[in-house]
Amino acid sequence: MRKFSIKLLLLFSATLLALGGFALSACSESSHKTDNSAHEHQFGSWTVVTEAKCEEAGSRYHVCSVCGYREDDVIPYLGHNYDRGEVTVEATCSTPGKRVRKCTRCQKEKEETIEKLNHNWDEGVIVEPSTCIKAGTLRLTCSVCKTTEDRELFLAPHDLQEDSARRQEATCEEDGKRVLVCSVPGCTYEQTETIRASGHIWTQAAGDTEPTCTDPGKHNRECSVCGTKDETTVPALGHDLPAEYTIDKLPSFTEAGSKSYHCRRCEEHVDPVEIPMLQENVPVTFRFEVLRNNGNKIVDSNIVITVFDKGAEVAKSDASTLVNGVFTVPLDPGTAASPKTYTAKVTGLPRGYSAKEEYTVSPADPNCSIWLTAAPLQGTPSRTERYTEGSVMYDFTLPAKDNNTGKDITLSELLKTKKAVVLNFFYTTCSPCQREFPYLMQAYTKYKDSIAVIAIDETRIDSMVAVTQFAIEYGLVFPVAFSTSFGIQSAFGFTDVPQTVVIDGEGVVSVIHSGTSTFDDFDKLFAPYASDSYWKNPEKKTTAAISAAQPLPLPLRKRETY
């Protein structure tokens, strides 16, 4: 207590000294004015009077070198700097410990409490196992102090077993149920589960009738489980009509003709239309159209259609009268006693195309379809050759083995057995090419009986080894051709790949498709050429499906005919 009083006295004295110094400073500052003006003190370094200690403040002063004014200051006490200390009593799981720490400056000691330790529990031992109605007990033991502690376990799951006496079986249409009860003595828990209806398992039953174009059919079925019977009405199919009319009767000078759509399924004549009777000396509009084998019109201003009457020219198309591949001209039908018959010839066809030498047409049937045919050009194309859609290609041979013959691939040879040839231009490190090859393989597998596929690499960045490895890696089963000198890619003017070209059955560039393709893209490209109706030209159509006892139909005509 006495020591603490001395400390307070010293602190109070130092405070008074500081306040006195402030007063002195104020007094001195006011008393050292010269010419009614004050000056800035120029203090020197501090002089320590009393050193600061852990619990006691020190003191110091400095003096103005101009006026001799002295300013005093208090040095705050330092506070103790305790070391880490020494444990005097070890802490345990149940009791705290003690530690003594000593100040490194004044050697003062203080005692601290060490918190007690946590128990180090083991995995425990089940004293009483749990059931589904009573929790069990787990006893834990501390590995340090051997103290034990009991904890409650979770309830055990129910031991469910089906009560077969309460089971209700499901039927085809109604749900059933089963009841599960707990087998543990004293437990009354039970659980009901739904047994879903199985649904009917239908099998075909007698009495089916097939639908026709105009009449609905019936489909009978019976469930093989419960015997339930079901009858479904199958809607009528509707007529399967072609895009063109069929002329049923040609008109004459004495009676009108007729035309209708012939259903391909039931052969019924639908939507009949009368063709007006011919009149003497009243001109009939004759219609000549130039068509490709796929039914598309040929639009080329160089084509000329010339019409003759007994060898004498009576009409001739030019750039103004041949519109979208169609030439219409009014001509004299003649008389009932002497009806006219005209012949037509076509000239100026695009390179590689050909047509019959002449076509015969009469006023009774004034619509003339001039079907063009083509074949791959022979010889060597020039370096400036450029192909576009509609161009007839030069025949070519590639150093890629045909899967069937084992020989180098030639376009004209492929077209002897295929309806179309597809060229796919690529190079091995082209990412879009790599993405589309699986789809091209899928489409080729679907259409390979009708369509040939050749992959062509004409780039200068690949080697034969790289192309061969690429074909193996992607599992390509169609031929792959590699060279930097084919000239086919340059003939199309391609600078980017992938590019896909479809060459039809006559060697004509039918489609040029740029960019990456999906399976749907390839499927839409290939499907028309694999169709049985691919050849629109009557001279190329097969008649194998027509019975020998069935007469051949009259010529087909477009809807706009007559």
* Digit-coded pLDDT (tens) for 138-185: 999 998 888 999 999 999 999 999 999 999 999 999 999 999 999 999
562, pLDDT greater than 60 = no
**Residue 550: per-residue pLDDT:** 28
Average pLDDT rounded to a whole number, residues 45-71: 93
What are the counts of helices (DSSP H) followed by strands (DSSP E) for the chain? 6, 36
What token pair was written down for 512? 């040029």
CATH of the domain spanning 245-374: 2.60.40.10
User: For 531-559, what is each residue's pLDDT tens digit?
Assistant: 877 877 776 653 322 222 223 233 333 33
Higher-scoring residue by pLDDT: 377, 16: 377
What token pair was written down for 72? 């005093």
Higher-scoring residue by pLDDT: 37, 439: 439
* Distance between CA atoms of residues 435 and 518, nearest Å: 9
284, pLDDT greater than 50 = yes
Q: Class assignment of domain 397-530?
A: alpha beta
Q: Report pTM.
A: 0.54
**Residue 324: per-residue pLDDT:** 86
Question: Confidence class of residue 406 from pLDDT cuts 50, 70 and 90?
Answer: low
Q: Is-contact 466 472, C-beta < 8 A?
A: no
Q: Where in the chain is the domain with CATH 3.40.30.10?
A: 397-530
Higher-scoring residue by pLDDT: 562, 518: 518
Question: Confidence class of residue 478 from pLDDT cuts 50, 70 and 90?
Answer: very high
User: For 377-387, what is each residue's pLDDT tens digit?
Assistant: 999 998 889 99
24, pLDDT greater than 80 = no
**Residue 72: per-residue pLDDT:** 94
User: For 323-372, what is each residue's pLDDT tens digit?
Assistant: 888 999 999 999 988 999 999 999 999 999 999 999 999 999 999 999 99
Q: Is-contact 553 246, C-beta < 8 A?
A: yes
**Residue 404: per-residue pLDDT:** 55
Average pLDDT rounded to a whole number, residues 54-74: 93
User: For 292-317, what is each residue's pLDDT tens digit?
Assistant: 877 778 888 889 999 999 999 999 99
Instruction: Tell me which DSSP letter residue 5 carries.
Output: H
Average pLDDT rounded to a whole number, residues 226-238: 92
**Residue 34: per-residue pLDDT:** 40
Q: Where in the chain is the domain with CATH 2.60.40.10?
A: 245-374
Question: Confidence class of residue 405 from pLDDT cuts 50, 70 and 90?
Answer: low
**Residue 209: per-residue pLDDT:** 92
Beta strands in 65-201 (DSSP E): 70-75, 86-89, 97-102, 109-114, 125-128, 137-141, 148-152, 160-162, 176-182, 190-195
**Residue 547: per-residue pLDDT:** 27
**Residue 402: per-residue pLDDT:** 58
* Distance between CA atoms of residues 354 and 319, nearest Å: 20
Judged by average pLDDT, the poorest of 99-103, 211-215, 220-224, 407-411 is 407-411
